[in-house]
């Protein structure tokens, strides 16, 4: 009876502040991560997930829920994985226990870098760009080079340091490194090229870039640094950070999560930089 009373109280709260409540009570942490991913992909701002106490205790020992959800990376979409991770600007969680001692709710509040409308416009633009680039049947190298060149030619580095999204880069035509990196991630993933977003430091500043798979080898790729800022405002396209091994990818240092043995075994960077061709 006590649980019924608490549920009624919670439902009254929902009427005051709409919350998406999943009808199922989950019995594994993997299911919970899947539901978090599903709700973020749907741009839900508030949602609750019921689970048993055992699952709650497992999840509370690993508070990195956003990364767990982002680690579920389907090849059918470029909107999950690293893109999902960077789509969230703010994230908060709280727990609600039921007095039956068997179940609990995980309540999540999420804020996003883009609106739903912006995401739809971005999806349309990505389809348009990929069609215009005519990448079907092209090699991995050709796809990476065309996407690299397109973004650099169309995007100006945002010196206000306020524009961080693929929407800013592809539609607003101005972004910081995150925008370049995420635009490349979306376009290359949809074009069939394996890619990851890497965060860290470059020349002493916070920075992000990509690694991409060309053939059976992985390479570093920094579109932002291949689009230098000039005194005249002239757009310059360079290849100084295009498909480089670690030795040639100077002044970059990854965050610790991308320097683990497990990560480097899964994404081994080629011993030699890629030899460019026309």
Considering the entire predicted model, what is its pTM?
0.89
Which domains are seen in the chain, by residue range? 2-112 (no CATH), 116-266 (3.10.620.30)
228 vs 224: CA distance, rounded Å: 7
Sequence-ordered strand ranges (E) for 27-83: 46-52
Q: Which of 103, 95, 125, 145 is nearest to 4 (CA)?
A: 103
Q: Does residue 130 register a pLDDT over 60?
A: yes
Query: Which region among 50-64, 74-88, 107-121, 254-268 has the lowest average model confidence (pLDDT)?
Result: 50-64
Q: Which of 1, 93, 3 is nearest to 40 (CA)?
A: 93
State pLDDT tens for residues 3-56: 333 332 333 233 334 556 565 789 999 999 999 999 999 999 999 999 999 999
pLDDT for position 3: 31
State pLDDT tens for residues 174-211: 999 999 999 999 999 999 999 999 999 999 999 999 99
Computed over every residue of the chain, the mean pLDDT equals 90
Q: What percent of the chain has pLDDT over 70?
A: 90
250 vs 159: CA distance, rounded Å: 23
């Amino acid at each position: 009876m006590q649980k019924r009373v608490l549920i009624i109280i919670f439902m009254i709260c929902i009427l005051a502040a709409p919350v998406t409540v999943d009808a199922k009570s989950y019995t594994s942490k993997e299911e919970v991560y899947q539901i978090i991913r599903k709700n973020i992909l749907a741009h839900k701002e508030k949602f609750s997930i019921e689970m048993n106490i055992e699952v709650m205790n497992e999840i509370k020992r690993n508070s990195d829920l956003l990364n767990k959800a982002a680690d579920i990376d389907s090849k059918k979409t470029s909107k999950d994985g690293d893109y999902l991770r960077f789509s969230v600007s703010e994230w908060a969680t709280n727990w609600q226990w039921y007095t039956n001692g068997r179940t609990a709710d995980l309540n999540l509040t999420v804020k996003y870098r883009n609106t739903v409308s912006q995401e739809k416009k971005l999806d349309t633009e990505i389809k348009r760009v990929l069609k215009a680039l005519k990448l079907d049947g092209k090699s991995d190298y050709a796809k990476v080079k065309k996407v690299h060149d397109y973004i650099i030619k169309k995007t100006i580095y945002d010196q206000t340091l306020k524009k961080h999204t693929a929407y800013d880069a592809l539609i607003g035509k101005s972004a910081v490194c995150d925008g370049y990196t995420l635009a490349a991630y979306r376009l290359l993933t949809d074009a069939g090229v394996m890619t990851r977003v890497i965060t860290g430091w470059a020349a002493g500043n916070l920075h992000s870039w990509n690694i991409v798979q060309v053939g059976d080898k992985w390479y570093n790729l920094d579109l932002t640094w291949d689009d230098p800022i000039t005194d005249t405002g002239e757009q310059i396209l360079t290849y100084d950070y295009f498909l480089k091994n670690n030795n040639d990818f100077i002044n970059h240092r990854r965050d610790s999560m991308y320097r683990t043995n497990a990560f480097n075994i899964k994404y081994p960077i080629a011993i030699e930089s890629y030899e460019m061709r026309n």
